[in-house]
Chain A
Amino acid sequence: MSAISSIIKDNVVDHWRKDFPILDQKVNDKDLVYLDNAATTQKPLSVIETISRYYSEINSNIHRGVHTLSQLATDEYEETRKKVQQFINAKNLNEIIFTRGTTEAINLITRSWGEAELKPGDEVIISEMEHHSNIVPWQMICEKTGAILKVIPMNDDGELLVEEYKKLINEKTKMVAVVHVSNALGTINPVKEIIQIAHDYDALVLLDGAQAVAHLPIDVQELDCDFYAFSGHKLYGPTGIGVLYGKENLLEKMPPYQGGGDMILMVTFEKTEYNELPYKFEAGTPNIAGTIGLGAAIDYVSEIGFEAIDAHEESLLQYATASLQEIPGFRAIGTAKEKASVVSFVIDGIHPHDLGTILDTEGVAIRTGHHCAMPVMTHFKVPATARASFALYNTRTEIDVLKAALIKTMEIMGV
């Protein structure tokens, strides 16, 4: 039965692959094997065509025009807000704010909420496995406000130490900002427990969902997180568009992050009256094409469904982990029990950067480096790792190509 079901599955994946025109090409005379999905995912034709159709047929500025195209553009832009709301199960439509990406969403929180709420001696908790985008904005705002930044440590499997978190949190903790799924390790964090503990101390929780949205169904009401940030481009959507979700009562109280057009109701030189949510946080002409493209990406992913995506990616992860471990000197970095489809690794005697370059000559695209998570590298005492990250269109055959290319690399490097 397993043989038959895997044949069916492969057929389904072949079908999905056809939706992604970029995958059907040669790189360095070899079939492209794209395994850098944690950096950015490829885009299905439906997303590409949606963006193209927008520019070919309805390009106009939104919210201001009375003409037909402007209305069409506005409708599609706002329709995407509804799609996002449903996608993450937000209670209210005005809790969805469009940003440039996860990084801007986090900066919006630190600059708006942080500047208004943090006082000297207040505490903010992040974790050892954060991406720099969830470290640096907090360092900046803590320096400015006199708040103190604390860090939840992790173990050598790359799992957060919840018991240590319980010791760090106290009445002075105002915010807990943690990553939902680690980009460098693949760890899926126990965010529900982290949120419950934070709320026991009346601290708010921001989840960095950049890596999570393409792999897990997100339900912000069920999680009860206060803020959730993600990027479109890691969810098969365009770059330059992301989302900040925030609970309405919190967003209402927060001051605007940027001033400009669209975020105002009335401007005189004496006084400006700000627009209502979510427009208060969307100054200037937004990334309209990108937003509508994100809507198409959400449609695409929703149609396939996370059940199918998860089953396929989980099987790829298990296959890759077992297969790559056969390579002498292979060491996985990040071996958490709960993991997304990311394999971060080092091979004895070969610098990850050399691996990346040689793999590229074999048509295999992986990420090498510190993955914008230098503290993670410090924890594991490595300068960098190589990272293969899988998406719904990847296959076991591609993992075989990766493995063969790694073995070839070892031969070239005399390891």
Chain B
Amino acid sequence: MFDLKDLYQEIIVDHNRAPRNFREILDADIKAEGYNPLCGDKLTVYLKLDGDVISDVSFQGEGCAISVASASLMTDQLKGKTEAEAEKIFETFHELVTDRESEIDLEKVGKLGALAGVREFPARVKCATLCWHTLNSALEDHDQGKDSHETISTE
């Protein structure tokens, strides 16, 4: 088990330096913007849906290592998942980074476990969850037939 105090795991550094799925999806079904005023993190999440399956997901933007790595890991995890599965993963992830008492089931959280250290740094939780909040509210808006024009802010 890694040291939780060691926030900047190799995997986070790697995903920050070479973020996966860092591109625009031109014919995206959903495009949502997120903003974290604390760090000045700004990112756009793109989603392509096939029924209720996420057939492609990507992001662009700039921010601190935690927010970029989190978005990169998120897009990696969500491809091929249904909306319901994505929501479950978000719930698990949210607990992972916010609940200091919760058990860390690395099998369940997979690569996202690299961000578990965030729970020891309350000031950085918003960085790790920005992409997820952005995606989540975009999906909700999409399901309600609304266009997502509002920027999601973590403040």
Contact = CB atoms under 8 A, between A and B. Distances in A.
A353 B127 CA distance: 10
A357 B121 contact: yes
Interface string B114-136: 00000001011001000000000
B38 A369 contact: yes
A351 B62 CA distance: 9
A140 B16 CA distance: 40
Contacts of B41: 383
B128 to A, nearest CB: 12
B7 interface: yes
B40 A383 contact: yes
B66 interface: yes
Interface residues of A, number: 16
Contacts of B5: 361
A377 B62 CA distance: 15
A374 B42 CA distance: 15
A358 B8 contact: yes
Contacts of A370: 40
B64 interface: yes
A361 B121 CA distance: 11
A412 B8 contact: yes
A384 to B, nearest CB: 5
Interface residues of B, number: 21
B106 interface: no
Contacts, number: 45
Interface in B7-53: 7-8, 13-14, 16-17, 38-42
Given A357-B7, A369-B38, A384-B39, A351 B17 contact: no
B100 to A, nearest CB: 16
Contact of A383 (B17, B39, B127): B39
Contact of B64 (A354, A377, A412, A414): A354
Interface string B96-112: 00000000000000000
Contacts of B66: 353-354
A27 to B, nearest CB: 13
B33 to A, nearest CB: 15
Given A351-B63, A383-B41, A384-B40, 5 more contacts: A351-B65, A383-B62, A383-B63, A413-B8, A413-B13
6 contacts: A351-B64, A353-B66, A354-B66, A357-B121, A369-B40, A412-B13
